[in-house]
């Protein structure tokens, strides 16, 4: 049976997404065949506007609708504390419990030598420059390293801590507490676990 070109193209498009295999791609495609055209149009419009209507914050490198983002431009946030995370999704998870009131810095990844991702491939230099330019570092009281508790996340945290100390950092460098199980991702943790992790952070 020859598959129509439109169906084959969509299957291949789904297969390029992370975590989507051939069978799942086929199921999603044939499911969409039964969706009303109006819903498909809304879906397509949402995809088209995804990058057109979002920007990367030039300060924290999170994703928002404006630059600077809502968090960086919020005068009520504690600008003396920066929480370093791997991905924008981690900010959403941490913001849910409403306990953390500081700023963020998104690395957009982690150091992963096996996949040829070094410090220069993620936003580590920008973090160091940001702290250095914050009144010569005197405006910062604490940097929280909230990378995921995986081998790569731990290695990234250690590298950043070493770089900060080499700049004679005169502020606290803390690591997110062990409320998170080793090997887990922040974005999948529940609010209570995240709150305990933030409260239980220690000097790094």
DSSP string, 16-57: TSTT--HHHHHHHHHHHTTS-HHHHHHHHHHHHHHHHT-EE-
Name the CATH topology of 56-203. Dna Topoisomerase Vi A Subunit; Chain: A, domain 2 (3.40.1360)
Peptide bond into 45 cis (omega under 30): no
Q: What pLDDT is attached to residue 200?
A: 72
Q: What pLDDT is attached to residue 138?
A: 60
Task: Give the Cα separation of 119 and 35 in Å (integer).
Answer: 44
Domains 5-52 and 56-203 share a fold: no
So where are the chain's domains?
A: 5-52, 56-203
Residue 199 CB burial class (10 angstroms; 0-12, 13-18, ≥19): exposed
**pLDDT (tens place) for every residue of the chain, 204 residues total:** 688 999 999 999 999 999 999 999 999 999 999 999 999 999 999 999 999 999 999 999 999 999 999 999 999 999 999 999 999 999 999 999 888 999 999 999 999 999 999 999 999 999 999 998 886 556 899 999 999 988 999 999 999 999 999 987 789 999 987 666 767 788 888 787 787 778 777 777
| CATH class given for the domain over 5-52 | mainly alpha
């Amino acid at each position: 049976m020859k598959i129509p070109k439109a169906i084959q193209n969509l299957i291949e498009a789904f297969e390029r997404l992370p975590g989507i295999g051939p069978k799942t791609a086929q199921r999603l495609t044939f499911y969409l065949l039964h969706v009303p055209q109006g819903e498909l149009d809304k879906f397509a419009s949402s995809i088209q506007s995804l990058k057109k209507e979002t920007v990367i914050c030039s300060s924290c490198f999170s994703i928002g609708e404006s630059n600077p983002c809502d968090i960086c431009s919020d005068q009520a946030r504690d600008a003396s504390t920066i929480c370093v995370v791997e991905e924008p999704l981690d900010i959403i998870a941490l913001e849910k419990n409403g306990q953390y009131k500081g700023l963020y810095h998104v690395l957009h990844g982690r150091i992963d030598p096996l996949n040829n991702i070094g410090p220069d491939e993620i936003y580590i230099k920008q973090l160091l420059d940001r702290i250095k330019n914050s009144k010569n570092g005197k405006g910062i009281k604490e940097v929280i390293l909230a990378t995921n508790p995986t081998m790569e996340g731990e290695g990234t945290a250690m590298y950043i801590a070493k770089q900060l100390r080499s700049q004679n950092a005169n502020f606290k460098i803390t690591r997110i507490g062990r409320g998170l199980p080793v090997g887990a991702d922040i974005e999948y943790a529940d609010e209570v676990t995240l709150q305990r992790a933030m409260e239980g952070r220690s000097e790094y």
